[in-house]
Amino acid sequence: MESEEITELRTMYIFSPPEGQSWGLTYEGLGALLRERDPEESIRVDDGSDGPVSGSSMHFGITLGDEELEGMALLAPEGVSVMDCTAHTAAAFAIWLSSNALPTGAAVMFNTEWGLEAELPDTPVPEATRPRIAATFMEHLKDTGELD
């Protein structure tokens, strides 16, 4: 598959703290940050009758550039995901998340829906520019074996 084609691939990207660590994520805090960006963003917290924590999932919309994405946050296991997303847009989200929603210097791990299916381990998001992060995400997509 050509590099240009890989940049257009869409999957779910999942961001989480390293195993054994926490970001101290709260739905209220994340919701407030999303509303700061755009007061019209959709945010819904489900009471989570099927999860271990009351309010066990938060669904939200976020606009990055021309992309309108749907996302989800969980407190247990802690993490944030964006659905149907390209590597470049996922990189923009990872930078926003790290710069705005997480404690300063907090490490961020990532995986994708395809990576989980291929049983790939979570990988650190590099502290780098958006193009470098996107390149890391595209290498991950190649490693899933889904591009053949």
The confidence score (pLDDT) of residue 60 equals 95
Q: Are 147 and 6 in contact (CB under 8 A)?
A: yes
Averaged over 80-105, what is the pLDDT? 96
The 10s digit of each residue's pLDDT in 36-58 is 998 888 999 887 655 455 557 99
Percent with pLDDT over 70 in the chain: 92
Q: Are 87 and 101 in contact (CB under 8 A)?
A: no
The 10s digit of each residue's pLDDT in 95-127 is 999 999 999 999 999 999 999 999 999 999 999
The confidence score (pLDDT) of residue 50 equals 54
Residue 33: pLDDT over 70:
yes
Query: Could you tell me the pTM of the whole model?
Result: 0.91
Confidence of residue 21 (pLDDT cuts 50, 70, 90): very high
